[in-house]
Amino acid sequence: MKTRELGHTGQQVSALGLGCMSMASGYAYGPSDAHEAVATLHRALDLGVTLWDTADVYGFGANEELLRQVLVPNRSSVFLATKFGFVTDGRGGATVDVRPERIARACEASLQRLGIDTIDLYYAHRIDPAVPVEEMVGAMAALVQAGKVRFLGLSEASATSLRRAQATHPIAALQSEYSMFTRDVEAEILPACRELGVSLVPFSPLGRGLLTNPGPQLAAQDLRRSMPRFGEEVGDANAPLVAGLHQLAAEKGVTTAQLALSWLLAQDAGIIPIPGTKRRKYLEENAAAAEIVLSATDLRRLEQLLTAHPVVGARYGEGALKLVNR
């Protein structure tokens, strides 16, 4: 697996990471097999996919506990990223709480669930408009000083918030949704990351499955049921784009997922996607994308296709969209 530098930290991580959100059974994308999830983590180590991404809200702590099984005996081989900030109400709803007094408690709880002494990359999962960015990052910086955290990151933050955070303490990474289906970050966020030397870490780089499976059958508890892009009213509106991607991938001799990931890697050397999976076969497919080189002609044809078929449907519902810092 090729590597890329995380921001300007000097730390090398795998060019493609592993999003672990779906590994906790029943959370986000339907049922999960814990044995297969653990086997997927071991296979990630074999393949050199060493950047693992989780959060305290994934599975309400169960995701971090699952990772612990493989993380602890292989600690030196894993660059572990987790997030704090969401508070759930137990009924499927969530609010954001990044008050300084809560951050230290959240960190300690994650460390205990993960079974480690230090988190490699600690993200604020969302920006709370009620808490100044400087106060939040100042509390996060205190964790670095205490040796609890190595590097700091933000998730779904605006370019303005990123600049305010960077002025308080160095930010290594900004995580945001970015794929052929979601390109909002190209306007302001990606340029700000380049300017500040911050890695952009795209989550859902395969459009939450729409790039590879435009009409997925969703389980009752699947998070995507709340997303307009997966609603019945959208129908087959995005099918021409997906069909075009399938065709270009076939011509290239790669899968559509690999084409989408290699396209992202080609956008900037500071981009480190974290495709999520809970199965070995998809992990292996995704990891192979790091070796694919797209020519100028490939990139031009892809851009023409994306321009010809604008994506239909918002990426979040109204409630979730309000939590995105814009």
Catalytic residue among 27, 29, 58, 122: 58
Check if 29 is active-site.
Answer: no
Q: Is the four-CA dihedral 315, 217, 53, 306 of positive or negative sign? A: negative
Residue that is written with structure tokens 């890695």 in the block: 199
Contact 159, 189 (CB under 8 A): yes
Contact 222, 30 (CB under 8 A): yes
β-strand pairing of 173-177 with 149-155: parallel
Q: Is the four-CA dihedral 235, 218, 125, 11 of positive or negative sign? A: negative
Sheet with strand 173-177: strands edge to edge? 18-19, 51-53, 79-84, 119-124, 149-155, 173-177, 199-203
Residue that is written with structure tokens 């795998």 in the block: 14
**98 burial type by CB count under 10 A (0-12 exposed, 13-18 middle, 19+ buried):** buried
**93 burial type by CB count under 10 A (0-12 exposed, 13-18 middle, 19+ buried):** exposed
Contact 11, 269 (CB under 8 A): no
List the structure tokens of 295: 């020519």
Catalytic residues, by residue number, are 58
